[in-house]
Amino acid sequence: MFGYRVPAPDEAMLISGGRRGLGGAPFRVVTGHGKFVLPFFRKTRFLTLAMCEAEVTETCVTRQGIALNVRAVIAFKVGNDTESIINAGQRFLSDQDQMSVLTGRIFAGHLRAIIGSMTVEEIVTERQKLAAEVLDTSKTEMAKIGLIVDSLQIQSIDDGDAGYIDAMSAPHRAAIQRQAQIAQAQATQTAAEAQQEAARKQAEYARQTAVVQAEYSAQVDRAQAEAAQAGPLAQAHAQQEVLAAQTELAQRQAELRQQQLVAEIVKPAEAEAERIKLLARAEADRMKIQAEAAASYDRVALDRMLIDQLPQIVKEAAGGLAGANVNVLNGADGLGEIAAGLVSQGLTILDSVRQNLGGQDSDGRNDGGNGVLELRAKEDRRPGDGPVNVD
């Protein structure tokens, strides 16, 4: 828009030709915003607020009278407040490059003054102290011209050909060299020890490697020997197992054959023997029963024979009484009594015969049946027959 002006962020706009500025300044200061400026009636100028740099190279004499070439760099700018902008605008608006020149000259003077109050040792060893003192002494002057210093750096200090700084640093260099030599010797010794340790470790490693290789070789040889023997050993074990199996099979076959023989011969023989024994026992029992039955039959036959012979026996007994003088007192009853007595005597004789037949001979055998057979033989024997043998 025509007549409307806006300053850059790092600039201050100075408007002159109208009202006076703050503190009676011949211009008004505008920063950070735009302003409408009447053309032809107002004049607008811009003052930089950016960072500027000034380099100082100055020969300064120390308190010891030794000349030192000092090189320093100053970083400065116009202050952000209105007062600083006014002071800087009144001094540098027409030629803003003069700010660096003037700042360098101001710092060169303060640098010579401060170095003149210090020794070389202090200057060399306390550069930061030197910079701080220079800043403190120049702050008031710089504020009057509207400038502020952000930093001051002492870049180099040189005594030229005087050699003072070199001489001053000689003990330190010697100490440093001595320390360096000691460190080098220690490093060399450490390196030698490290080499010896490395050699020892290598030898130990080589020895362990040789031992391990020997063990591996022995294991390989043993494994090869075992492998070489494995075949015959396995074959021998196999043959031994075959023989054991064959022996066990033969034993089992023998046991089986024994069981078969027991089943085929012994058991049938035992069964046959038992059968024969049972048959013999049964036959003995049968013969005993038959003998007992025969004896019982013979006794019955004897009893029957005696009963059959009883009349004859009674008759013979009666015949024995034929010549006797017998008086019968009670007639028929008395005669019956006599007959009854004879019968009783006959029965007594029969009992005696039974007892004799039921007794045992001198061998302990029952000869009841033999007596009956002998009696029958006597009865059946005729005059003129030979003797009868009774088995």
* 53 phi-psi bin (left φ>0, alpha ψ -120 to 50, beta other): beta
User: Residue 313: its pLDDT value, please?
Assistant: 62
User: Residue 81: its pLDDT value, please?
Assistant: 87
| pLDDT tens per residue, range 142-152 | 888 889 988 88
Question: CA–CA separation, 388 vs 237, rounded Å?
Answer: 88
| pLDDT tens per residue, range 47-82 | 898 999 999 888 888 888 888 888 999 999 998 888
Question: CA–CA separation, 48 vs 14, rounded Å?
Answer: 11
pLDDT tier at 353, thresholds 50, 70, 90: low
User: Residue 385: its pLDDT value, please?
Assistant: 47
Q: What does the block give as tokens for 289?
A: 């029963």
Please provide residue 307's backbone torsions phi and psi, each rounded to the nearest 5 degrees. Answer: -60, -40
Q: What does the block give as tokens for 352?
A: 């005696």
Mean pLDDT for the chain overall: 76
User: Residue 384: its pLDDT value, please?
Assistant: 47
User: Residue 216: its pLDDT value, please?
Assistant: 83
Question: CA–CA separation, 271 vs 61, rounded Å?
Answer: 151
Q: Are 105 and 58 in contact (CB under 8 A)?
A: no
Question: CA–CA separation, 46 vs 29, rounded Å?
Answer: 10
Q: What percent of the chain has pLDDT over 70?
A: 73
Can you give the pTM of this predicted structure?
0.42
Amino acid at residue number 131: A
Q: What does the block give as tokens for 41?
A: 């009636």
- Interacting residues of 219 by C-beta distance below 8 A, sequence separation 6+: none
User: Residue 373: its pLDDT value, please?
Assistant: 37
If DSSP codes are grouped into helix, strand and coil, which group holds residue 25? coil
- Rounded (10°) angle between helices 98-116 and 127-144: 130
Statement: 4-162 belongs to CATH 3.30.479.30: yes
Over 80: is that where the pLDDT of 292 sits? no
Over 60: is that where the pLDDT of 250 sits? yes
Dihedral over alpha carbons 325, 330, 331, 336 (to 10 degrees): -80
| Range list of β-strands (E), the chain | 4-5, 11-16, 27-30, 35-36, 43-48, 52-61, 67-78, 147-158
